[in-house]
Structure 1
Amino acid sequence: MSRGPGLPAGETAPVEKTIAPGASAERHRRAGIGVRSLVIFYVTSIVGTGILYVPGVTAEQAGPSSLLAWTALAAASYPFAKFFAEMSAWRPDASGLTVMVRLGFGERSAQAAALLLIATYVIGNPVMGIVSARYFLDLVGHPDGPVYAVATVFMALSVLFNTLGLHTGARVQAVCLVVLLTGLGVSVALAAPHMDADRYRPFLDHGWGGVGAAVVSAFFSFLGWENVSTLADDVSDPARSYRRAVRWAVPVIGMLYLSVTAAYLAVPSRGTMVLTALLAAPLGQTGRIVGGLVALGLAVVATNAWVLGASRLVAAGARDGLLPRSLAVTSVARGVPVRVLPVLALCYAAVLGGLSVTGLGDTVILTMTSSSFLMLYVATAAAAIRARAPRAIRRTGLLTLLIALGFLCFGGVGLLLAAVLAAVCAALGVLRGQGRNSA
């Protein structure tokens, strides 16, 4: 190999080529990431913008009883996590849950599910950039500044981070995770003396309908169990690694969400920026600054993990012929889908630009994303039952199916928008199939 331009003597430019699916899976099972890295990616995929922003949304929808929504989702996390972990252990593949849909309902349904999953990632991920932008603008003293423009910059930074490669990214994420989770714990501890149980009264002031709406919004914070399935090609011994990872990840994530939400609901001053509210009580303006910095770091770490999942999904879609095959080009040296990442940056900018022009709030995107994922959970679980997958998958799949259907009953406008998006993806899948057949 010839030395690339600008590289030091003795170093070679990364080779870029499309890696055959079977070869990729076999190689990474021999020398891929393990249990610790999977736990890190689980936690950083799930604990992020949800814990920083969504408790404020659910408090507006359900008041103190929003804690019931978070408790329900913490309990539902284990069936969800176990289902996708068992699925990845059985059929490790970067295309994630669409593998199961293909087994249960056939190629056309799998194509529609894959397109819906990719579209949901592309549309939903920028919410994380918006949260980062809001914390940043608050820190610099311009809370009414250009949120969507700054969010576009944060999304671009996460795209750049993912060019480092999977193993380097995992090490950086691990360091950031330890620092930031410590910050979360300290924030709750400092806020504890300023909490007042009277702020939980009246508890059910928005009724059970409010709790149901809060469940759908809070579900956004628990998205990520399926996100880590997209790393299956890069995991060594998936059967062992995924099963062990969820045993650690589920209780850690559940305790974090419940403790932070309970504390937030009990402090004197609330707002959509949760950590700022927690630290403002004991530390005043200094607490607002510290809380903003911790929150901003946590949001960036979570966004990095979701951009990673999106890049793997788009590359898998290109590999399978749903998207232009040129997007499947991967750097062997770093394991990075080099052509996907700039495309994602452009898509994120387009979504944020659309929000800016139309004036739609990001809460609409949040509920639509949650509803889309709930629909995909239902489809994947039903496919596992229909495909007669191994018993562990069918058992957790049935629980996932029932829970997701229950949550969908409260989808509202978000469910309607998700259904429209799903219909569009199904139509595109049909057109794609017809074009392939005519060729």
Structure 2
Amino acid sequence: MRMTTTQQQQSLRAQLWRRKPVTRATRESSEGLERSLGTFSLMMFGVGATVGTGVFFVMHQAVPDAGPAVIVSFVLAGIAAGLSALSYAEMASAVPVSGSTYSYAYATLGEVVAVGVAACLLLEYGVSTAAVSVGWSGYLNQLLDNLFGVTVPAALSSGPFDAVDPGLVNLPAVFLVAVCALLLVRGASESARVNTVMVVIKLAVLGLFVAIAFTAFDADNFADFAPHGVTGITMAAGTIFFTFIGLDAVSTAGDEVRDPQRSMPRAILGALAIVTTIYLLVAVSALGAQPWQDFGDAEQAEAGLARLLQDVVGASWPGTILSAGAVISIFSVTLVTLYGQTRILFAIGRDGLLPRAFAKVSRRTRTPVNNTIIVACVVGLLAGFVPLDDLWDLVSIGTLVAFIVVSVGVIVLRRTRPDLPRGFRVPGYPVTPVVAIASCVYILAGLHWNTYAWFALWLSVALTFYLVWGRRHSLLNRAAHAGLPLDDDATPAKEDQP
């Protein structure tokens, strides 16, 4: 018998809003991935994906908007990220699997929302990786110039659409993506060890920057504190917010963490504390050492903090050390964000919303090699040909939407599955997640309208793919047609128990 129009509509509605049950299998299975990461390695993933972008070169994007009040922008972004981090910690302990906010949305808000969040995450991680790779190219040139008096030719160190000095391709950025992809193919534990070493080096270098910059501190640089008012502060906070992507990166590793219910919350909160402290110290010392107007100089934007130190000391050696630290630091950012995107694709493929090839894991290396190659090719093209200035706010909007969804997910999961064991519970519930949502919405309001236009276009493409292909191939859809139970080992919620 053919379905009536009403039945078809009900069926489509059921498909769109079906949720993936949080079963024992969901919480324990790693689907071929190796559980090799501990709390410290995971925390270094968060720091590695975060520290490097905001302090090394986004200052030159945000300071012209806010002036010295960019410190307030950092605080605002940090508060929003911190409140959201508490929600991440609870969700990561309740649903400790790969996939980050995508997996959390699938378990709490429904399949169509999960697909939309997945689109945000893929945009966030892909564009962020390309953005930091482009910034790495500038610091590499600065380092080569200081050490050997040579630089990569302009034709091979900037893309064809670069507004300042267009070239053919940003070859160093493409090279960085390729090296990170090769390292990730070798294994997660190997990548984690390399990242930990690089994080320790970058923190030491940033400590040196703060110490030297404070020797030239001039309080008069803060006189015109907020030249563009609240609007400028909010715009800068939106630009800065993408640098907190590292907090989300921790939650992409759920299937590769030993004791994830305990390790993931600790890693997320530990990374937040380290990152916020470093950001504020660097921002205050940099603004005290240089008038805020100089941060808008296009020539100074490339390897800006290294040039700032050279001006302070009157010699090249501090800039050389900072450039070397930045080269190492941004390498670790690229490594972790590339890792995060491959694991999100793995989770989506495992659920049947992408072709099964995305869920394949190499038997030898225990890594999703297909995903790594695909992501590296796409990100490499972006990094090689798209200018840096066009990337920041797109990453921020994806990050903000993901942070909003995870806070909503905490509220929903508290109501629908209060029985789930949680290694961490959000303090001040329900006020904390509600304030987190409100702060993220406030920062979203400060982004440019064209950012929303590009974001809406990308989201429409992802949802179209889901409606045409994904919903029919979803594992939940196949299970429903086969009449298989989905939640056979879930405990009823307390309010449903007799």
What is the CA-CA distance between 1:139 and the residue it aligns to? 2.7
Separation (CA, whole Å) in 1 of partners of 2:266 and 2:109 = 29
Instruction: Say yes or no: does 1:98 pair with 2:102.
Output: yes
Separation (CA, whole Å) in 2 of partners of 1:414 and 1:289 = 35
Structure with higher Rg: it is 2
CA-to-aligned-CA distance 1:15-70 (integer Å, 9 cap, x gap): xxxxx9776439979x5322111211111111122221111111111111111101
What is the CA-CA distance between 1:228 and the residue it aligns to? 1.1
Q: 2:306 aligns with which of 276, 281, 284?
A: 276
Letter paired with 1:198? D
Q: 1:419 aligns with which of 453, 456, 463?
A: 456
Answer yes or no: is the 8 Å Cα contact 1:80–1:225 preserved in 2. no
Answer yes or no: is the 8 Å Cα contact 1:112–1:429 preserved in 2. no
Separation (CA, whole Å) in 2 of partners of 1:121 and 1:215 = 19
Letter paired with 1:70? F
Separation (CA, whole Å) in 2 of partners of 1:332 and 1:35 = 25
**Corresponding residue SS for 1:284:** coil
What is the CA-CA distance between 1:182 and the residue it aligns to? 0.8
What is the CA-CA distance between 1:217 and the residue it aligns to? 0.4
What is the CA-CA distance between 1:149 and the residue it aligns to? 2.5
**Corresponding residue SS for 1:33:** coil
CA-to-aligned-CA distance 1:340-373 (integer Å, 9 cap, x gap): 1111121112323552xxxxx4222110110122
Answer yes or no: is the 8 Å Cα contact 2:74–2:240 preserved in 1. yes
Instruction: Say yes or no: does 1:82 pair with 2:86.
Output: yes
What is the CA-CA distance between 1:435 and the residue it aligns to? 4.5
Q: 2:388 aligns with which of 362, 370, 375?
A: 362
Instruction: Say yes or no: does 1:178 pair with 2:208.
Output: no
- In the other structure, the counterpart of 2:148 is none
Instruction: Compute the RMSD of aligned alpha carbons.
Output: 2.5
Separation (CA, whole Å) in 2 of partners of 1:416 and 1:37 = 38
Letter paired with 1:385? I
- In the other structure, the counterpart of 1:432 is 469
**Corresponding residue SS for 1:411:** coil
* Equivalent residue pairs, number: 414
Separation (CA, whole Å) in 1 of partners of 2:257 and 2:32 = 10
Answer yes or no: is the 8 Å Cα contact 1:89–1:242 preserved in 2. yes
CA-to-aligned-CA distance 1:80-130 (integer Å, 9 cap, x gap): 212112111100111111222223321222123223322332233100110
- In the other structure, the counterpart of 2:272 is 250
What are the within-5 Å matches in structure 2 for residues 360-399 of structure 1? Answer: 361-387=387-413, 388=415, 390=418, 392=425, 395=430, 396-399=432-435
Separation (CA, whole Å) in 1 of partners of 2:364 and 2:435 = 41
Q: Kindly tell me: are residues 264 and 350 of structure 1, through their superposed partners in 2, closer, same or farther at Cα, counting changes over 3 Å? A: same
Separation (CA, whole Å) in 1 of partners of 2:179 and 2:31 = 31
Instruction: Say yes or no: does 1:408 pair with 2:444.
Output: yes
Q: Kindly tell me: are residues 181 and 330 of structure 1, through their superposed partners in 2, closer, same or farther at Cα, counting changes over 3 Å? A: same
- In the other structure, the counterpart of 1:6 is none
Q: Kindly tell me: are residues 26 and 310 of structure 1, through their superposed partners in 2, closer, same or farther at Cα, counting changes over 3 Å? A: closer
- In the other structure, the counterpart of 1:37 is 41
CA-to-aligned-CA distance 1:269-328 (integer Å, 9 cap, x gap): 643234304421125222222221111111001111111111111122221222221222
What is the CA-CA distance between 1:411 and the residue it aligns to? 1.4
Q: Report the identity percentage.
A: 26
- In the other structure, the counterpart of 1:309 is 340
What are the within-5 Å matches in structure 2 for residues 19-418 of structure 1? Answer: 24-25=29-30, 32-141=36-145, 142=151, 144-145=154-155, 146-147=157-158, 148-268=170-290, 270=295, 271-272=300-301, 273-280=303-310, 281-355=312-386, 361-387=387-413, 388=415, 390=418, 392=425, 395=430, 396-412=432-448, 413-418=450-455
5+ residue gaps, structure 2, are 1-24, 146-150, 159-169, 482-498
Separation (CA, whole Å) in 1 of partners of 2:87 and 2:40 = 19
Answer yes or no: is the 8 Å Cα contact 1:190–1:279 preserved in 2. yes
Q: Kindly tell me: are residues 123 and 200 of structure 1, through their superposed partners in 2, closer, same or farther at Cα, counting changes over 3 Å? A: same
- In the other structure, the counterpart of 1:12 is none
Letter paired with 1:25? S
Letter paired with 1:122? G
| TM-score with structure 2 setting the length | 0.77
What is the CA-CA distance between 1:190 and the residue it aligns to? 1.5
Answer yes or no: is the 8 Å Cα contact 2:27–2:96 preserved in 1. no
CA-to-aligned-CA distance 1:400-436 (integer Å, 9 cap, x gap): 2111111111011323322322222222222224554
**Corresponding residue SS for 1:339:** helix
Letter paired with 2:30? A
Query: Could you list the runs of 4 or more consecutive aligned residues of structure 1 that deviate by over 6 angstroms after TM superposition?
Result: 20-23, 26-29
Separation (CA, whole Å) in 1 of partners of 2:462 and 2:287 = 39
**Corresponding residue SS for 1:113:** helix
Higher mean C-alpha deviation, range 137-146 or range 147-156: 137-146
Letter paired with 1:320? D
What is the CA-CA distance between 1:222 and the residue it aligns to? 1.4
Separation (CA, whole Å) in 2 of partners of 1:70 and 1:303 = 22
Higher mean C-alpha deviation, range 265-274 or range 94-103: 265-274
What are the within-5 Å matches in structure 2 for residues 10-25 of structure 1? Answer: 24-25=29-30
